Chains A and B, each alone.
Chain A
Amino acid sequence: ETGVTQTPRHLVMGMTNKKSLKCEQHLGHNAMYWYKQSAKKPLELMFVYSLEERVENNSVPSRFSPECPNSSHLFLHLHTLQPEDSALYLCASSQETGRPLYGYTFGSGTRLTVV
């Protein structure tokens, strides 16, 4: 148990479906992140939330829509995805006081397959 829980662990969806990924942390952290991990590519930072406000969106297509209703929960809403969006989506959290002295705590990820 890492302290960051992601559900579901696996998701298969069609290109016309709408689904959501969920991330939950009970570490008292105040920042949360979505990363995309594709085969043979570096980890890509998608979104950053600090104190429940989105502070960064790294040119992510609008078919990905994040939501952070409180400091413990983070969602990634998906709609009309493409096959190239198939990847492992990782959530992370951290306690920020200026610089990440403690690094991130990662969840186990959601393996997404778009068919």
Chain B
Amino acid sequence: AQSVTQLGSHVSVSEGALVLLRCNYSSSVPPYLFWYVQYPNQGLQLLLKYTTGATLVKGINGFEAEFKKSETSFHLTKPSAHMSDAAEYFCAVTHAGIQGAQKLVFGQGTRLTINP
């Protein structure tokens, strides 16, 4: 069964500093990996995804993530944090589900705080 572990439930960085949110996955099959962002009182919005091909994927708002099979990781980074990046971030992996409707398995989330 697939699973996701996000290291650190809270991360705090200064405005302009590097953002690094960690995600490790477990999967018995080649994974498809996703990062979602959730702003207060909102649903989840897709930031980026890895399916196949290039292991460094770029998403919206300047975020990117690199799939490292040897480390079973899919860490999310952004070179320079902005105040508007404050939100909760979720890593997710596909689950070997039922034909026709596959399930995403989510990590527990990481709350990102940006200090002025």
* Contact surface of A with B, Cβ cutoff 8 Å: 2, 4, 6, 30-31, 33, 41-43, 45, 48-51, 55-56, 90, 92, 94, 96, 98-109, 111
Task: Find out whether the CB atom of B102 lies under 8 angstroms from the CB atom of A98.
Answer: yes
Q: Give the contact-size bracket for chain B.
A: 20 to 34
A61 to B54, CA, bound (A): 42
A72 to B42, CA, bound (A): 21
Taking the nearest CB of chain B, how far is it from the CB of A87, in angstroms? 13
Residues in A neighbouring B46, C-beta threshold 8 A? 103-105
The closest CB in chain B to the CB of A54 belongs to: B101
Residues in A neighbouring B98, C-beta threshold 8 A? 48, 50, 55-56
Given the known inter-chain contacts A42-B108, A108-B42, A108-B43, please indicate yes or no for A55 contacting B102, CB distance below 8 A: no
> Can you list 16 A-B contacts (CB < 8 A)?
A4-B43, A48-B101, A48-B103, A49-B101, A56-B101, A90-B43, A92-B44, A96-B101, A98-B102, A100-B102, A101-B32, A103-B104, A106-B44, A106-B45, A108-B41, A109-B43
Residues in B neighbouring A94, C-beta threshold 8 A? 101-102
Q: Does B106 contact A (CB under 8 A)?
A: yes
Residues in A neighbouring B36, C-beta threshold 8 A? 103, 106
The closest CB in chain A to the CB of B4 belongs to: A42
